[in-house]
Chain A
Amino acid sequence: KAGVTQTPRYLIKTRGQQVTLSCSPISGHRSVSWYQQTPGQGLQFLFEYFSETQRNKGNFPGRFSGRQFSNSRSEMNVSTLELGDSALYLCASTLGNNEQFFGPGTRLTVL
């Protein structure tokens, strides 16, 4: 069974731009969560989607948004990029209340 896939793997943007990251969960998994990983703040929860609805949200500004499609694929969007948005963005999928399986992440660099 294929794992969680994330595209692109690496991204370089400049301040003020916007970016869209994509995540395809494990087949059959309907819950997708997003996390931001930085050296200073560690791993922080962004949001979770289940059946195309946002079910949970972390403490991030409104510039961070997401959505989920009917095939459970999810995208997250960051608008008006700031230098501090440079991070590894991880997507995880889960089935029910079991463990989350993570993708390889998208490394975003904001210049």
Chain B
Amino acid sequence: AQSVAQPEDQVNVAEGNPLTVKCTYSVSGNPYLFWYVQYPNRGLQFLLKYITGDNLVKGSYGFEAEFNKSQTSFHLKKPSALVSDSALYFCAVRDPTGKLIFGQGTTLQVKP
């Protein structure tokens, strides 16, 4: 069965510092991986995806993610955090039927 784990409930980082939000996955076959962000009282907003190809995926708002097959990880990164990046981040994997299986989410808090 496909599954995704986000080991950190919350990540705190100072503005201007690099940030990493962790995600590990368990899939049978090739993984289709996604990152979404959710701001308060809003739906999920797509950030980036990995289907195949380069292990470093670039997405919206300066975010990128590194796919590591040997470590079964897909960590979300940004070189310089902004206060406006503070939100709830979800990692997801698409199972063979097409539905998304989400991690529990990680709250990112960026302090000025």
- Show the binding face of A for B, using Cβ within 8 Å: 4, 6, 31, 33, 35, 42-43, 45, 48, 55-56, 58, 90, 92, 97, 99-105, 107
In the bound complex, CA of A4 to CA of B46 (Å)? 13
Q: Which stretch in B13-21, B78-86, B98-106 binds the other chain?
A: B98-106
Q: From B41, B43, B97, B99, give the contact of A90 (CB < 8 A).
A: B43
Q: Are B44 and A90 in contact (CB under 8 A)?
A: yes
Interchain nearest-CB distance for B95 vs A (Å): 9
Q: From B34, B42, B105, give the contact of A104 (CB < 8 A).
A: B42
Number of interchain pairs (Cβ within 8 Å): 50
Q: Are B98 and A48 in contact (CB under 8 A)?
A: yes
Q: Are B97 and A100 in contact (CB under 8 A)?
A: no
* Complex interface bits, B39-70 against A, C-beta within 8 A gives 1, otherwise 0: 00111111001000000000000000000000
Q: Contacts of A55 on B, CB cut-off 8 Å?
A: 97-98
Interface residue count on the B side (C-beta < 8 Å): 20
| CB pairs A–B below 8 angstroms (15 shown) | A42-B103, A42-B104, A43-B44, A43-B105, A48-B98, A55-B97, A56-B97, A90-B44, A92-B100, A97-B98, A99-B46, A101-B46, A102-B36, A103-B43, A104-B43
Q: Contacts of A45 on B, CB cut-off 8 Å?
A: 99-101
Given contacts A31-B98, A33-B100, A43-B102, 9 further A-B contacts (CB under 8 A): A42-B102, A43-B90, A45-B101, A48-B98, A92-B44, A99-B34, A102-B36, A103-B43, A104-B42
Q: Contacts of A102 on B, CB cut-off 8 Å?
A: 36, 43-46
Q: Contacts of B105 on A, CB cut-off 8 Å?
A: 42-43
B32, B42, B49, B99 pick with most chain A CB within 10 angstroms: B99
